[in-house]
Amino acid sequence: MKRSSKHFLLGAVAAISAATYFMPTPATAAWEPTRPVEFIIPAGTGGGADQMARTIQGIVTKHNLMKQPMVVINKSGGAGGEGFLDVKGSKGNPHKIIITLSNLFTTPMATGIPFNWKDLTPVAMLALDEFNLWVNTDKPFKTAKEFIDAAKTANGTFKMAGTGSKQEDQIITEAIQKATGAKFIYIPERGGGAVAVQLVGNHVESTVNNPIEAVAHWKGGKLRPLCFFDSKRVTYKEVVAEGKSWADIPTCKEQGLDIVYLMLRGIFMSPGATKEQVDFYVGLFRKVRDTPEWKKLMEDGAFNTTFMTGDAFTKWVAAEEKRHEELMKAAGFMAK
């Protein structure tokens, strides 16, 4: 079977190179996809990464940004390990890209699967996703301070729901416990949507959902964001709910909870990609970022719209990996 797949690969490579060879080459000699592009999501349906990837697919299709179709595939098994290993194993296939969340770092650290982000080819940082501290509007908490004080008084009975185990939500929860001394019972759920609904149903006291995951419930008057885990306020001024805009929500730091955590929404592609191939996708995502649909998504989800490519992006990811390693070690989440 190995042999036949090798043959197939060789054949495919030959076909592609032949196709590119015979294609009328424009002056720039740019590379373009010759087959449908698989867009892997290392997370389940309905979560933040899924929403973003499906929006991108819609934008690419609607504005005809690519001649070949883009196919979105969820590979969420093993906390996203399924998706990462799939792309890692597609060396030399330029028709496979993947969107990341923090599990790019946390999954290999917590499970010990043979994967590191250096196995992939970095393409671009699309945005950084914010995190909020959310509470139910039935509860009296109006500020992060009130909430943390109540959590301390409750003496370890407050429950915090989050996505997955030993991933970003639990890392933030650990950080809150360390910074304040308040203790929480962390309850892992499968996805960000389910986490928000547990809070709406008052089964837990708080969550650290991404803005986009819970904004509908804020608009519906059920949930309330207390603060952003960022170093400065976001700049979206349009009123969302309760007469407030995202810009009116303070940072947690302003409220005495000095924790900053942002999550990478970046694009990587399979190993062994050439510069022309990376350049194509960088160009594609630049065009995506210029569309009104993308701008609306950024505003709805209060995203930090930093864009990075090339060496700057690679350096940023390396620093972020180191930070996660420290956070995971401190929390005792590393695989033995």
User: Which residues, 6+ apart, have CB-to-CB distance to 67 below 8 Å?
Assistant: 32, 33
**Among 54, 203, 215, which residue's Cα sits nearest to residue 138?**
203
265 part of the interface to another protein, by CB under 8 A: no
Q: Are 229 and 173 in contact (CB under 8 A)?
A: no
- Select 189 or 320, whichever has its Cβ closest to another protein: 189
- Select 39 or 268, whichever has its Cβ closest to another protein: 39
Least separation in angstroms between CB 166 and another protein: 4
Which of the residues 296 through 325 are near another protein (CB under 8 A)?
Answer: 296, 300
In the set 154, 179, 194, 260, which binds another protein (CB under 8 A)?
A: 194
- Select 160 or 308, whichever has its Cβ closest to another protein: 160
Distance separating the N- and C-terminal Cα atoms of the chain: 35
6 part of the interface to another protein, by CB under 8 A: no
In the set 33, 42, 48, 81, which binds another protein (CB under 8 A)?
A: 81
In the set 34, 137, 165, 177, which binds another protein (CB under 8 A)?
A: 165
257 part of the interface to another protein, by CB under 8 A: no
The window from 10-18, 26-34, 109-117, 248-256 that contacts another protein (CB under 8 A) reads 109-117
**Alpha-carbon distance values, 186 to 30, 152, 161, 193, 296 (Å):** 49, 15, 6, 17, 33
Give the dihedral sign, CA 195/173/147/236: negative
49 part of the interface to another protein, by CB under 8 A: no
For 62, other C-beta atoms within 10 Å of its C-beta total 10
Least separation in angstroms between CB 52 and another protein: 9
Helix %, strand %, coil % for the chain, to 5? 45, 20, 40
The owner of tokens 């499968």 is 190
Burial of 163 (0-12, 13-18, 19+ CB in 10 A): buried
Least separation in angstroms between CB 254 and another protein: 28
- Select 57 or 245, whichever has its Cβ closest to another protein: 57
Ordered alpha helix ranges (H), 181-237: 192-200, 211-219
Residues in contact with another protein by the rule CB under 8 A: 1, 44-46, 50-51, 54-55, 57-58, 61-62, 69, 71-73, 75, 77-79, 81-82, 85-86, 110-114, 159, 164-167, 185-190, 193-194, 196-198, 200-201, 203-204, 215-217, 219-222, 293, 296, 300, 333, 335
